[in-house]
Amino acid sequence: MAPRDVVLEVEHLSMRFGGLVAVNDLSFSAARGDITALIGPNGAGKTTVFNCITGFYKPTSGRITMSLGGPAEPNDVAALTASGNRAMRTARGQLFLLERMPDYEITARAKVARTFQNIRLFPGMTVLENLIVAQHNALMIASGYTVKGLFGFGSYQRAEADAVALARSWLDRLGLTARADDAAGALAYGDQRRLEIARAMCTGPELLCLDEPAAGLNPRESSELKDFIRSIARDHGTSVLLIEHDMSVVMEISDKVVVLEYGIKIADGSPEAVRNDPKVIAAYLGVEDDAVAEAEAEIAQ
Partner 1 sequence: MSAPASTLTIPGAVRDALKVGLITLGLSIPILAVRTDQNLSNQIVLLPRWGLVASAVGIAIAVRLAYLLLAAVRQARGGALIGSLGVRLPAQAGTMFARAAVVFLFLYPVIALSLAGTGGAVKWIDNFGIQILIFIMLGWGLNIVVGLAGLLDLGYVAFYAVGAYTTALLGKTFGLSFWLCLPLAGILAAFWGIILGFPVLRLRGDYLAIVTLAFGEIIRLVLINWVPVTNGYAGITGIPRPSFFGVPFNASDQGFSAVFGLPFSPLYRTVFLFYLILLLALLTNWVTLRLRRLPVGRAWEALREDEIACRALGINTTSTKLTAFAIGAGFGGFAGSFFAARQGFISPESFTFMESAVILAIVVLGGMGSQVGVAIAAVLMIGGTEILRELDWMKEIFGSGFDPTQYRMLLFGLAMVLIMVWRPRGLVSTREPSIFLSERRAVSGAHVREGHG
Pick the closest to residue 164 from 180, 176, 151, 148 (CA basis). Answer: 180
Site for partner 1 (CB under 8 A): how many residues?
Answer: 48
Q: How far is the CB of 116 from partner 1 (least distance, A)?
A: 7
- Under a CB-based contact definition with an 8 Å cutoff, are residues 262 and 242 in contact? no
Binding of partner 1 by 174 (CB under 8 A): no
Q: How far is the CB of 256 from partner 1 (least distance, A)?
A: 24
Q: How far is the CB of 123 from partner 1 (least distance, A)?
A: 5
* Cα within 13 Å of Cα(12), Cβ side: 3
- Under a CB-based contact definition with an 8 Å cutoff, are residues 223 and 214 in contact? no
- Under a CB-based contact definition with an 8 Å cutoff, are residues 243 and 36 in contact? no
Binding of partner 1 by 87 (CB under 8 A): no
Which of these ranges, 22-30, 81-89, 106-114, 215-223, lies near partner 1 under the rule CB under 8 A?
106-114
Binding pattern to partner 1, positions 4-43, x when CB under 8 A?
Answer: ----------------------------------------
Q: Which is nearer to partner 1, 180 or 281 (CB)?
A: 180
Contacts of 32 (CB under 8 A, 6+ apart): 5, 6, 7, 71, 206, 237, 239
CA angle 91, 235, 46 (to 5 degrees): 80
**Runs of H (alpha helix) within the chain:** 46-53, 74-83, 103-108, 127-133, 136-142, 147-151, 156-174, 189-201, 219-236, 247-253, 271-275, 278-285, 289-300
Q: How far is the CB of 180 from partner 1 (least distance, A)?
A: 4
Q: Let me know how long the chain is.
A: 301
Q: Which is nearer to partner 1, 123 or 286 (CB)?
A: 123
- Under a CB-based contact definition with an 8 Å cutoff, are residues 207 and 112 in contact? yes
Please list every residue from 109 through 148 that binds partner 1, using CB under 8 A.
113-116, 120-126, 128-129, 132-134, 136-137, 139-140, 143, 146
Q: How far is the CB of 213 from partner 1 (least distance, A)?
A: 14
Task: Say what angle helices 219-236 and 189-201 make with each other, to 10 degrees.
Answer: 10
Q: Which is nearer to partner 1, 150 or 291 (CB)?
A: 150
In sequence order, the β-bridge partners of residue 241 are 36, 209
Which of 21, 174, 183, 251 is close enough to bind partner 1 by CB under 8 A? Answer: 183
Binding of partner 1 by 170 (CB under 8 A): no
Please list every residue from 195 through 224 that binds partner 1, using CB under 8 A.
199-200, 203
- Under a CB-based contact definition with an 8 Å cutoff, are residues 78 and 174 in contact? no
Q: Which is nearer to partner 1, 28 or 156 (CB)?
A: 156
Binding of partner 1 by 150 (CB under 8 A): yes
Which of 5, 21, 70, 168 is close enough to bind partner 1 by CB under 8 A? Answer: 168
For binding to partner 1 (CB under 8 A), which residues are involved? 54, 56, 103-108, 113-116, 120-126, 128-129, 132-134, 136-137, 139-140, 143, 146, 149-150, 156, 160, 164, 168, 171, 177, 180-186, 199-200, 203
